[in-house]
Structure 1
Amino acid sequence: MRLQRITTSSRWIPEVDGLRFVAISSVLLIHILAQMNSHAHLYGLHASGHEAFVAVMYQLGRGVQLFFAISGYILAQPFLRQYVDGGKPVRLGSFYLRRLTRLEPPYILSLLIYAVSLLLLHRMAAHVVWRSFAMCAFYVHNFFAKGTPPLNLVTWSLEVEVEFYVLVPLLAKLFCIRSPTTRRLVLLACILCSALPAWSAATAHGFFLPAQLCYFFTGFLLADLRVEQKLAQDHPFWDLGSLLIWPAFLFLPEFRFLPIVLCGLLVAGFHATFMGPVSRRILSTRWIALLGGMCYSIYLLHMLVISALFPLTRHAALTGNFYTDYLIQLLLLLPAIVIASIAYFVAIERPCMDPNWPQKLWSRVRGRRSAAMV
Structure 2
Amino acid sequence: MVSFPSLRRITASGAYLPEIDGLRFMAIFAVLVFHVLLLSQTYMGYYALPSNAFAHFTYDLMLNGRYGVPVFFAISGFILGLPFAKQYLNGGKKIGFGPYLMRRVTRLEPPYILSLLIRTGPVMAAKGYTFLWILPHLLASIFYLDMAIYRDYPVVQLVAWSLEIEIQFYLLIFLLAPLLFRAKATLRRCVFVFALFLPGTVQYYLWNYTGLSHHDLFFYSIGVWIQFFLAGMLVADIFVTDLGRIPSTWLWDVLSAVVWIVFFIVPDGGSQVFGPAMLVLLLLGAFKGKVFRWFYSLSPISIIGGMCYSIYLTHSLVLQALAFAYYKMAPRDPSYLRFVVSILIFIPLLIAAGAVFFVLIERPCMDRRWPQKLLAFLSGKREAPKKQAVTVDASLPR
Q: Is the 8 A contact 2:199 2:273 kept in 1?
A: no
Change (3 A) 1:73 1:48: same
Most deviating of 319-328 and 286-295: 319-328
How far the C-alpha of 1:52 sits from its partner, in A, is 5.7
Most deviating of 265-274 and 287-296: 265-274
Other structure's SS at 1:367 match: coil
Match of 2:306 in 1: 293
CA distance in 2, matches of 1:231, 1:353: 33
* The one of 183, 193, 199 aligned to 2:198: 193
Change (3 A) 1:315 1:176: closer
Match of 1:237 in 2: 251
User: Could you report, residue by residue, the CA deviation over 1:159-196 in whole angstroms, capped at 9, with x for unpaired residues?
Assistant: 00001111111111124435222211122222233324
Match of 1:101 in 2: 106
Change (3 A) 1:26 1:60: same
Aligned alpha-carbon RMSD (Å): 2.5
How high is the sequence identity, in percent, across the aligned residues? 35
Letter of the structure 1 residue corresponding to residue 195 of structure 2: C
Which structure is higher in RCO with an 8 Å CA cutoff and minimum separation 6?
A: 2
Match of 2:47 in 1: 47
Match of 2:387 in 1: none
Match of 2:225 in 1: 212
How far the C-alpha of 1:129 sits from its partner, in A, is 2.4
Match of 2:142 in 1: 137
Paired residue total: 364
Change (3 A) 1:346 1:241: same
Superposed, which structure 2 residues align to 1:113-128 within 5 Å? 113-120=118-125, 123-128=128-133
Q: Give yes or no for the alignment of 1:70 onto 2:84.
A: no
Other structure's SS at 2:165 match: helix
Other structure's SS at 2:364 match: helix
Letter of the structure 1 residue corresponding to residue 73 of structure 2: F
How far the C-alpha of 1:148 sits from its partner, in A, is 8.0
Match of 2:390 in 1: none
User: Could you report, residue by residue, the CA deviation over 1:289-336 in whole angstroms, capped at 9, with x for unpaired residues?
Assistant: 000000000000000001122111115764846221111211221122
* The one of 256, 263, 274 aligned to 1:249: 263
Other structure's SS at 2:11 match: coil
Other structure's SS at 1:233 match: coil
User: Could you report, residue by residue, the CA deviation over 1:107-140 in whole angstroms, capped at 9, with x for unpaired residues?
Assistant: 0000000002224566532223222211211111
Q: Give yes or no for the alignment of 1:361 onto 2:374.
A: yes
- Normalised by the length of structure 2, the TM-score is 0.85
CA distance in 1, matches of 2:9, 2:245: 23
Match of 1:372 in 2: none
Q: Is the 8 A contact 2:181 2:237 kept in 1?
A: no
Superposed, which structure 2 residues align to 1:1-374 within 5 Å? 1=2, 2-40=6-44, 45-48=45-48, 56-120=61-125, 123-145=128-150, 150-199=155-204, 200-201=206-207, 202=212, 206-226=219-239, 229-230=243-244, 233-255=247-269, 257-315=270-328, 318=331, 320=333, 322-367=335-380
Letter of the structure 2 residue corresponding to residue 219 of structure 1: G
Residue segments in structure 2 that go unaligned for 5+ positions in a row: 383-398
How far the C-alpha of 1:142 sits from its partner, in A, is 1.0
Q: Is the 8 A contact 1:191 1:217 kept in 2?
A: yes
Other structure's SS at 2:194 match: helix
